[in-house]
Structure 1
């Protein structure tokens, strides 16, 4: 595997990990938003929007899980591409079991499967490398990736994922931040579903739009992050709140750490992975 191909593989795996929104992220507790956004004359619409978003926050935090379809599109930067994730996501603490499909990251890696699976829990994510790639991993099927500490491969993952780090958020926490945003505003009602849309800016160069259904749960969110020339758009459709989320990590004997795999590769290639 050439240095360029190896970097493509790292991008694919790192992108999968970050987009799940659970890896390398300790449970934040999603502190309950208090009060309303800064009031000003004529701010009735914003106050009503904050009330609706706070109510959605309460329901989301209590549900703790949902079935999701997440579509991420990244333009610019070093990790441009797109992927779709479907499965179950849980928060408080954060875990997920997701199938990765329609991924330009995977398509860029020769021999990589058309789809794969990511299981995330305990601040780490496990990516199924596929039966055809186990010769590179010592026969082990799962690659474990941490976003912090020695398992992160000396900072390579954050470098390659660039703006993708902005999507690593608890969905309830996002709503709590939106409820307090000074730029929060109503965006209208979606035809057909009856969902009401709201949008506003979040810390860290992010913008969130949410469609809240008649039942008070978020049906759809669009989180846009603009970081260092990399624009990330993450669209999440959520259903079946409170669904069972029995996420189990792979056996330790069938996993290999990111840092260990990187060390084996660089040792065998004389540092070739750092070029190209």
Structure 2
């Protein structure tokens, strides 16, 4: 693979990881209806909505993990694309074991597999580059996605790695932020996949906002979080099931990993060339 192809591959793989954690919301996205939902009028006061969200926050924080299906769509900007992630995600501590499918990022890498695996453990996220790419890295097939060393480097890579601090979303934290919003509202009683849910929405801090659908058991069934920044819009839809699912995730052996910065530096000439 040529130097420029390796660079495109590394940047695209970084994008697969980073966009999963870019969370926020489109301006005033409250009231977004998922497919299969039928909305009723909002009946709860802000105080009642806040109480319900705080209760959901507590239950979610105590659960610590769940099975997830996430769909991220990025439009505009240099990192436009989409991916689907399915598997187990945990928070406090942050861990994940996800299969990546239906990804325009993977599709844009010559020789890349149609699907791959993404693992977060011990504060680091890794993505499996596949056997074909591993042949170019001495048999090491797990690429570490790191923020260190990016500053002052390639502009696109800097943009893509800027969100690594929140690469694994914490739904409990987000629910807490929504409950604390002065503009939170109960949007309505709806049905999601045939089951009754309560739909809430409102802005989060930093210009972000969130919609959440809470089931009769008090747990979030779905969240939609999106953000506008630097000319791009990122929308992250997450479906949750099986709260409390064991999230026993282990990092790949160090001998099987390599860093994205290590890869790009090995190409010579640095990030801004080649």
Same fold per superposition (TM over 0.5): yes
Structure 1 residues 81 and 165, CA, compared in 2 at 3 Å: closer, same or farther?
farther
Deviation at 1:122?
Answer: 2.2
- TM-score of the aligned structures, taking structure 2 as reference length: 0.84
Give structure 2 stretches of 5+ with no counterpart.
23-42
Structure 1 residues 155 and 247, CA, compared in 2 at 3 Å: closer, same or farther?
farther
Q: Does 1:262 align with 2:260?
A: no
Please tell me the root mean square deviation across aligned C-alpha atoms, in Å.
2.4
**8 Å Cα contact 1:74-1:232 kept in structure 2:** yes
The match for 1:235 is 237
Deviation at 1:189?
Answer: 1.8
In structure 2, how many angstroms separate the alpha carbons of the residues matched to 1:102 and 1:61?
30
SS at match of 1:53: helix
Counting only pairs closer than 5 Å after superposition, residues 170-249 of structure 1 correspond to structure 2 as 170-191=170-191, 192-249=194-251
The match for 1:38 is none
The match for 2:74 is 74
**8 Å Cα contact 1:205-1:227 kept in structure 2:** no
The match for 2:111 is 111
Equivalent pairs counted in the alignment come to 250
SS at match of 2:247: coil
In structure 1, how many angstroms separate the alpha carbons of the residues matched to 2:119 and 2:182?
36
- TM-score of the aligned structures, taking structure 1 as reference length: 0.83
In structure 1, how many angstroms separate the alpha carbons of the residues matched to 2:120 and 2:151?
18
Question: Which 10-residue stretch deviates more, 218-227 or 156-165?
Answer: 156-165
Deviation at 1:155?
Answer: 5.5
**8 Å Cα contact 1:19-1:168 kept in structure 2:** no
Spell out, residue by residue over 1:17-46, the C-alpha distance to the aligned partner (whole angstroms, 9 max, x if none): 224549xxxxxxxxxxxxxxxxxxxx9611
Question: Which 10-residue stretch deviates more, 206-215 or 7-16?
Answer: 7-16
In structure 1, how many angstroms separate the alpha carbons of the residues matched to 2:167 and 2:50?
22
Q: Which has the higher contact order (CA 8 A, sep 6+)?
A: 2
Structure 1 residues 18 and 257, CA, compared in 2 at 3 Å: closer, same or farther?
same
Structure 1 residues 143 and 110, CA, compared in 2 at 3 Å: closer, same or farther?
same
SS at match of 2:172: helix
Give structure 1 stretches of 5+ with no counterpart.
23-42
In structure 2, how many angstroms separate the alpha carbons of the residues matched to 1:10 and 1:165?
19
Deviation at 1:12?
Answer: 2.5
Q: Does 1:250 align with 2:248?
A: no
Structure 1 residues 222 and 171, CA, compared in 2 at 3 Å: closer, same or farther?
same
Deviation at 1:275?
Answer: 4.6
Structure 1 residues 166 and 226, CA, compared in 2 at 3 Å: closer, same or farther?
farther
Deviation at 1:224?
Answer: 1.0
The match for 1:159 is 159
Counting only pairs closer than 5 Å after superposition, residues 96-135 of structure 1 correspond to structure 2 as 96-135=96-135
